[in-house]
Copies of this chain bind each other. A is one copy, B any other.
């Protein structure tokens, strides 16, 4: 059978080679896509729950259309409930609360203002009304749009401002055509309220996904990542079988990288967490702001790790072989092992303390052990005043040399940009200027370097 089928396939592929190739490609692309989808769902099963919740909420509010008595009550306004659900449902409970409450309040305020604008404009006759309404809409839309550039408004009420402009414009402008404005406004506000309420119910009571909990866990897991880096440094660089030569490609040198770009997620989670009611171990006034402070320090620490990591990698490429001054080297090595392992322990303790929401009592001991190791190292180094000073100046020089490397990389990258974007060549313009610079500058630098 298999042979026969194989022959058939060969026959097909000989007849339509392009077609069979095409199907093979489609098949592999489809399988790859399925694999990707599966991975996304497996990485965090709450994503599937969220998708089901959105479908459910939408089906729920659409009963406003299917059930005749309900539809008779709300009429065409029922669509506002559907619209509200689609735009308000967010992944986290805090996100839905933020958007839902923004939408509800903005609708009520802007709706009232719109009705007010209608009454004022109605005093000016048919033509005057249109002009006055247009003016109101222009002024309000322009000033509300400008208010979105105020950082505080942008952070917490951006969506509310959009809805404010939307509702005011819709109410004010339709008031020109609709006779029973108050009834229309009433219907819309009720359906929007129904939409928001349904969203809040599914968000808060059906498998709720709390932004606060995610933020809490994220900070703890970021601490763990920093700890893993330090543990790696401790064993790979200063452990008993330490070996600087084979550092490149080690996973622990990459583990902190995701921490560096965690600010945006952290900020949005923190913003949403502030809207959430008390849940689990978190009260309504939980100090979410402090998580941002801790997160900021964590990112600074990760940036320092980045510097250390790139220094270690470039250093390990030089295949160092230590021979001289074995005693000093041993002292430094021991101190480094102490510093890295104790700091790692402290960070693990802190992470554990956050996870279990207990006071981090043991972390203090580890931190003081690490700082005392650092202080000892300073004493050891400063005993030999020449070494001490040289180390400091050379350290700055090494960090600067690192910057020189980056400058070179940036220059290459900009060159690539210039090529891709077809930047103009300056050869024709500067041809007279380039040579003298080369002649004057480079020898001068060489001269300085040699004389120094």
Chain A at the B interface: mostly helix, strand, loop or mixed? helix
Given A86-B169, A353-B414, A395-B391, is A442 in contact with B365 using a C-beta cutoff of 8 Å? yes
Q: In the complex, what residues of B have CB within 8 A of residue A328's CB?
A: 390
Residue on B with the closest CB to A165?
B86
Residue on B with the closest CB to A402?
B304
Alpha-carbon distance between A237 and B312 when the two chains are bound, in angstroms: 25
Q: Which of B36, B304, B373 contacts A406 (CB 8 A)?
A: B304
Given A324-B389, A400-B340, A404-B370, is A360 in contact with B418 using a C-beta cutoff of 8 Å? yes
Q: Is the CB of B145 within 8 A of A362?
A: no
Contact with B along A33-47 (1 / 0, CB 8 A): 000110011000001
Contact with B along A106-142 (1 / 0, CB 8 A): 0000000000000000000000001001100111111
* Min distance, Cβ A247 to any Cβ of chain B, angstroms: 11
Count of identical protomers in the assembly = 2
Alpha-carbon distance between A331 and B452 when the two chains are bound, in angstroms: 5
* Interface hit among A3-11, A16-24, A76-84, A199-207: A76-84
Contact with B along A297-313 (1 / 0, CB 8 A): 11011011111101110
Q: Does A420 have its Cβ within 8 Å of any Cβ on chain B?
A: yes
Alpha-carbon distance between A146 and B406 when the two chains are bound, in angstroms: 40
Q: In the complex, what residues of B have CB within 8 A of residue A386's CB?
A: 324-325
Q: In the complex, what residues of B have CB within 8 A of residue A14's CB?
A: none
Q: In the complex, what residues of B have CB within 8 A of residue A374's CB?
A: 400-401, 404-405
Given A408-B371, A411-B367, A414-B353, is A62 in contact with B441 using a C-beta cutoff of 8 Å? no
Subset of 29 A-B contacts with CB under 8 Å: A36-B150, A62-B173, A65-B176, A79-B174, A82-B169, A86-B166, A237-B396, A263-B264, A294-B413, A297-B410, A300-B310, A301-B407, A304-B403, A304-B406, A308-B400, A315-B396, A320-B389, A343-B404, A343-B407, A346-B411, A347-B410, A354-B417, A357-B423, A357-B424, A359-B423, A370-B404, A371-B404, A371-B408, A390-B390
